[in-house]
Amino acid sequence: MMFPTLDPLLHAELRLAVMSLLISAEEAEFPYIKEQTGATAGNLSVQIDKLSAAGYIEVEKTFKGKKPCTVCRITPAGLKAFEEYVEALRSYLDVK
């Protein structure tokens, strides 16, 4: 039996956590994602950039008053990649 390849971008724990959060929420602000994942701001920022570069999420940077506000949303491509990742992972678990 051949196991399907797991998307290396989603296989990283923090990126998978970010995607999982965005699957369940329409959008999320950076501080919320940081709090939920327990990641450092620097590491989270790097991982968000990687997901954004892959087209899996879109990042909107605005201001709330004078404070910067970063909002992340999953893209249709990100949703498809996540669903394919979950299906591939299921195939590993269904081995008899």
Does residue 78 belong to any structural domain of this protein?
yes
Does residue 96 belong to any structural domain of this protein?
no
**pLDDT given at position 2:** 83
**pTM of the entire predicted model:** 0.91
Does residue 54 belong to any structural domain of this protein?
yes
Neighbouring CB atoms inside 10 A of 94's CB total: 7
Domain with residue 43: its CATH number is 1.10.10.10
**pLDDT given at position 51:** 98
- Number of domains the chain is built from: 1
Does residue 12 belong to any structural domain of this protein?
yes
Query: Is the pLDDT higher at 3 or at 17?
Result: 17
Does residue 3 belong to any structural domain of this protein?
no
- Domain that includes residue 76, residue range: 8-88
